[in-house]
């Protein structure tokens, strides 16, 4: 179940509010005590997060929805999480776990002891979730709040991403975006595909900026601007490695890329999804001053039509 963007924080007794975590959405499925983690696009990411293996140690069967977060300077950071998301080798994941541990913030209960709970109201699912007492070294059930505007201001003061407001009577609409869940963010995060890259000015062989695309509403990609901020060092090297096998002869965008941005560009198939922070959009629909956050290994380009 996905949240829509709120125009204002909902108020009233029918709403409850939670912190919006800057992380990776997963479903954690426990069967016979074995935990399997699936990303939003259905990929098995269990090997990437070995510290979550013990989540279901006290239960034979349950399915929970939550967000995996990694902390940087005491706050959740998607950038800090990015280096863990694509790791498939368990030994490497265990080494990274020691340096950059994660926590699963569990916020919904979808199945328990073989019973599908998705048709129940949120309030009933939440009551059952709290009774499970899922508290461990790398997982927790964060609290909910009745005062949405107050939580929104508190998360702003603490440098958090924002809040999610949920209707207490809402069933869980699996795989769908619903008005019963509404997100209010302090900063604008955009997911986009990379459709090309440009080299550094003084280093022709090194990636210095990427050219971004967003869905054009007709099955293609509209050019969304050039981004170089935040791309340097390991980030630039990692992106270059991902893009190298995707080279193509022409731009993948349905509209024309400005000559200034296209100069010297290497075009690539739009298969790599990244997150950016920006100041919104220009009048021409470009991202305003976008900054690189990280690669979304949990998203496919097709997911952006529902982002």
- Report the distance separating Cα 74 and Cα 72, nearest Å: 5
| Beta-bridge partner residues of 45 | none
Torsion of CA 190, 193, 198, 201, to 10 degrees: 20
Q: How far is CA 86 from the centre of its chain?
A: 13
The single residue of 20, 88, 166, 201 carrying the catalytic annotation is: 20
Q: Look up 20 and say whether it is catalytic.
A: yes
| Contact predicate 138/91, CB 8 Å | no
Contact 45, 198 (CB under 8 A): no
Give which of 20, 29, 41, 5 is closest to 296, Cα–Cα: 41
Long-range contacts of range 126-130, CB-CB < 8 Å, 24 or more positions apart?
Answer: 126/16, 129/64
Q: Catalytic residues, which ones? A: 20
């Amino acid at each position: 179940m996905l949240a829509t963007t709120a125009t204002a924080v909902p108020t009233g007794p029918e709403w409850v509010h939670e912190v919006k975590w800057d992380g990776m959405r997963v479903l954690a499925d426990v069967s016979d005590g074995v935990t399997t983690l699936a990303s939003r696009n259905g990929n098995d990411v269990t090997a990437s997060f070995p510290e979550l293996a013990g989540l279901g140690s006290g239960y034979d069967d349950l399915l929970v929805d939550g967000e995996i977060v990694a902390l940087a300077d005491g706050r959740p950071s998607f950038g800090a999480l990015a280096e863990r998301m694509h790791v498939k080798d368990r030994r490497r994941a265990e080494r990274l776990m020691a340096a950059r541990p994660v926590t699963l913030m569990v916020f919904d209960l979808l199945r328990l002891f073989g019973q599908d709970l998705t048709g129940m109201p949120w309030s009933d699912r939440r009551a059952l979730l709290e009774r499970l007492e899922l508290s461990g070294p790398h997982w927790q059930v964060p609290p909910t709040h009745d005062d949405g505007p107050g939580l929104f201001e508190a998360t702003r003061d603490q440098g958090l991403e924002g809040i999610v407001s949920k209707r207490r009577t809402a069933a869980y609409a699996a795989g769908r975006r619903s008005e019963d869940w509404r997100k209010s963010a302090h900063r604008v995060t955009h997911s986009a595909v990379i459709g090309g890259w440009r080299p550094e000015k003084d280093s022709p062989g090194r990636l210095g900026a990427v050219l971004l695309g967003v869905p054009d509403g007709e099955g293609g990609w509209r050019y969304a601007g050039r981004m170089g901020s935040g791309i340097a060092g390991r980030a630039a090297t990692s992106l270059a490695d991902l893009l190298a096998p995707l080279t193509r002869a022409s731009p993948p965008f349905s509209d024309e890329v400005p000559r200034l941005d296209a100069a010297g560009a290497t075009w690539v198939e739009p298969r790599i999804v990244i997150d950016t922070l920006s100041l919104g959009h220009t009048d021409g629909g470009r991202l305003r001053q976008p900054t690189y956050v990280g690669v979304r290994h949990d998203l496919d380009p097709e997911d952006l039509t529902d982002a």
